[in-house]
A and B are shown apart, each in its own frame.
Chain A
Amino acid sequence: MSDDGGGDVTYPGARRPDRRYRVDSSGVGIAVGEWGDPDAPPLLLAHGGFDFVGTYDVFAPLLADGGRRVVAWDQRGHGDSERAALYSWAADLRDTVAVLDALGDVGPLPLVGHSKGGGMLLEVAEALPHRVSHVINLDGLPSSQAQPDRPDHERTRMLSGELAGWLDHRRASAGKQRRPGTLDELAERRGRMNPRLSMDWLRYLVTVGGFHDEEGWRWKIDPGLRMGGFGPWRPEWSLIRLPGLRMPFLGILATQPEVMGWGTQPKDLEPYLPDRAEIESWDDSGHFVHIEFPERAAERVLAFLAAHP
């Protein structure tokens, strides 16, 4: 057992980035981590909502060992990146471009993104196709087909509760801190969002995504951020980016039901798929395909890149 300082917590195959640095994105410091030979062909790797670079500590080294310079970053307010006053999808996209720009003249490169990160990269690929060679999406293709059909009055009541909860959270956000706990308590809390992931992995995640002070462990993520939410966005707004993609596209769908997953089925994507897109379902995996099956995911990514030089 750990002494709760986390010093002896390890996870098989996990490796912290070989290099770490910060990129300035309009005044917000973005923490970047890289694995692999700095002269190897680069690959940009975007994490999902409420994740951070450390969630790639097994997957990214496998890609690096496959001959890639893997570049990942903590989205603003996540991991070791600076907390911002404001958060938005548009700001996350701009931060992505700041990381891309910091690589210099590397030519078109593959974009690999999980969940929210996958959705972000669809838009980066649409906006900057001349800088993108491949798009690989790891369970980041949302579908409204998978959403439960609810009567109007129930939707209104749910929206009312969601709005009140979010506004209450915002009112209390000044000076707020994440709730402290033991390493195991934080791992268990995270496990409620990621019920398919092992406690060993979740405990490891605490040590790389949290910090320890006199009151215990806290997640680094900005307490102003809150899971769930509302807004004008709808799943189709992500999918409409797909048909225009001209670069090779691979989408992996995880179909085991999970709290944070979309439950998207291949048939939901058919109207949107670009020519020669490759879509596959992993029926044995939940949303975090790169954590549940890191070797298989890395092999699939590397094989796809090799097949489309």
Chain B
Amino acid sequence: MSPTYLDHGHVRLALHELRGGDGPTLLLLHPLAEHSPPTVPVDSAAWPGPVHALDFTGHGASTVPVGGGYTSEVLMADVDVALAHLGPSTILGSGLGAYVALMVAGARADLVRGAVLDDGAGLAGGGDSPGSVYLSPPLVTDGSVPDPWALAELSRDLRPADYATAFVRLALQFSGLDTPVSVAARFRPTWVAAVAAEPGVADCSVPQALTAYAGLG
């Protein structure tokens, strides 16, 4: 099935419907350098409603912008554009998608009915604090995905623990959920470990988390 295209600034985002139907909506966010899966993944098969997946800017069938400039924050805005289309959704994010899922769970607490953070490429980012400055020479790009600038920039963006936990607190304060975030990732870089230790965060498997969020109604 061809994706729905949504405009985000100068970028056209591809939102894939993996399964239609009624019930609560699940939105999948892919790891760095990957793209939306073609079918509902095994971990999400029991979800009792429609399942969608978003290709981030520079990935999958979404626009590859010229000249880079990626941040996790702009990917959060990608997801927010998808939420404006889908309405309230539970989000399952893997790797880079887990970090973005956390951010949007805090920033749009009224629209995210639980965020599940799972393993995948790009989970750690560039760590907790700045290293030496590195100015990348121009990368060879031809418009194909994944965008080399996305790989270079989103694997280096800094994710301090207190910045990540601020999104947990937003989610807890404004979502009305007791456990708005669930950590299923086994790899625990600093920001993930800090998030997992926050009140309002469950530590469980993806199926367990989805079962809990599916029951929210």
Which of the segments B27-35, B63-71, B113-121, B200-208 contacts the partner chain?
B63-71
Interchain CB contact under 8 A, A85 and B10: yes
Interchain CB contact under 8 A, B106 and A163: yes
Interchain CB contact under 8 A, A85 and B80: no
Of A84, A163, A231, the most chain B CB neighbours within 10 A belong to: A163
B-side contacts of A28, CB under 8 Å: 66-67
Q: Return the CB mask of A212-241 against B: 1 if under 8 Å, else 0.
A: 000000000000100000111110010011
B-side contacts of A160, CB under 8 Å: 106-107, 109, 170, 173-174
Number of contacting residues on B, CB 8 A? Answer: 48
A40 at the A/B interface (Cβ < 8 Å)? no
The chain A residue with its CB closest to the CB of B126 is A232
The chain A residue with its CB closest to the CB of B111 is A167
B1 at the A/B interface (Cβ < 8 Å)? no
How many inter-chain residue pairs (CB < 8 Å) link A and B? 132
Interchain CB contact under 8 A, A90 and B69: yes
Interchain CB contact under 8 A, B133 and A86: no
Interchain CB contact under 8 A, B107 and A91: no
Interchain CB contact under 8 A, B80 and A91: no
Interchain CB contact under 8 A, B130 and A85: no
Q: In chain A, residues 84-103, which have Cβ atoms closer than 8 Å to a Cβ of chain B? A: 84-88, 90-91, 93-94, 97-98
Q: In chain A, residues 1-45, which have Cβ atoms closer than 8 Å to a Cβ of chain B? A: 25-28
A106 at the A/B interface (Cβ < 8 Å)? no
Q: How far is the CB of B19 from chain A (nearest CB, A)?
A: 26
Q: In chain B, residues 1-57, which have Cβ atoms closer than 8 Å to a Cβ of chain A? A: 7-11, 57
A85 and B9 contact, Cβ closer than 8 Å, known pairs A91-B69, A159-B166, A241-B133: yes
Complex: how many Å from CA A156 to CA B132?
A: 31
Which of the segments B90-98, B156-164, B180-188, B209-217 contacts the partner chain?
B156-164
Complex: how many Å from CA A97 to CA B63?
A: 26
Q: How far is the CB of B61 from chain A (nearest CB, A)?
A: 16
| Neighbour of A240 across the interface among B130, B157, B159, B166, CB < 8 A | B130
A307 at the A/B interface (Cβ < 8 Å)? no
A184 at the A/B interface (Cβ < 8 Å)? no
B139 at the A/B interface (Cβ < 8 Å)? yes
**What is the size category of the interface that chain A forms with chain B?**
35 or more
Interchain CB contact under 8 A, A126 and B84: no
A170 and B10 contact, Cβ closer than 8 Å, known pairs A25-B67, A85-B66, A156-B173: no
| Neighbour of A127 across the interface among B108, B134, B157, CB < 8 A | B134
Complex: how many Å from CA A167 to CA B139?
A: 29
A237 and B130 contact, Cβ closer than 8 Å, known pairs A26-B67, A85-B69: yes
Q: Return the CB mask of A165-184 against B: 1 if under 8 Å, else 0.
A: 01100110111000000000
Q: In chain A, residues 135-161, which have Cβ atoms closer than 8 Å to a Cβ of chain B? A: 152, 156, 159-160
Interchain CB contact under 8 A, B8 and A170: yes
Q: In chain A, residues 228-282, which have Cβ atoms closer than 8 Å to a Cβ of chain B? A: 230-234, 237, 240-241
A-side contacts of B80, CB under 8 Å: 167, 170-171
The chain A residue with its CB closest to the CB of B80 is A167
A-side contacts of B77, CB under 8 Å: 166-167, 170-171
Interchain CB contact under 8 A, B107 and A167: yes
Q: How far is the CB of B124 from chain A (nearest CB, A)?
A: 14
B-side contacts of A166, CB under 8 Å: 77
Q: How far is the CB of B16 from chain A (nearest CB, A)?
A: 20
A123 at the A/B interface (Cβ < 8 Å)? yes
Complex: how many Å from CA A76 to CA B9?
A: 15
A232 and B163 contact, Cβ closer than 8 Å, known pairs A86-B70, A163-B107, A163-B170: yes
A26 and B81 contact, Cβ closer than 8 Å, known pairs A84-B65, A85-B57, A174-B7: no
Interchain CB contact under 8 A, B107 and A26: no
Q: How far is the CB of A138 from chain B (nearest CB, A)?
A: 20
A83 at the A/B interface (Cβ < 8 Å)? yes
A306 at the A/B interface (Cβ < 8 Å)? no
Complex: how many Å from CA A146 to CA B9?
A: 34
B-side contacts of A94, CB under 8 Å: 68, 135-136, 138
In the complex, 8 of the A-B residue pairs with CB atoms within 8 angstroms, ordered by the A residue number, are: A76-B67, A88-B69, A88-B153, A124-B133, A126-B133, A171-B77, A175-B7, A237-B129
Q: With contacts A94-B135, A127-B135 known, what are 17 further pairs, Cβ within 8 A?
A: A27-B67, A90-B136, A98-B138, A126-B133, A156-B169, A160-B106, A160-B173, A163-B107, A167-B77, A167-B107, A167-B108, A170-B9, A170-B77, A171-B8, A173-B9, A174-B9, A232-B159
The list of the 10 closest CB pairs from A to B, nearest first, reads: A86-B69, A85-B65, A91-B69, A174-B7, A28-B67, A27-B66, A170-B77, A163-B107, A85-B10, A127-B133
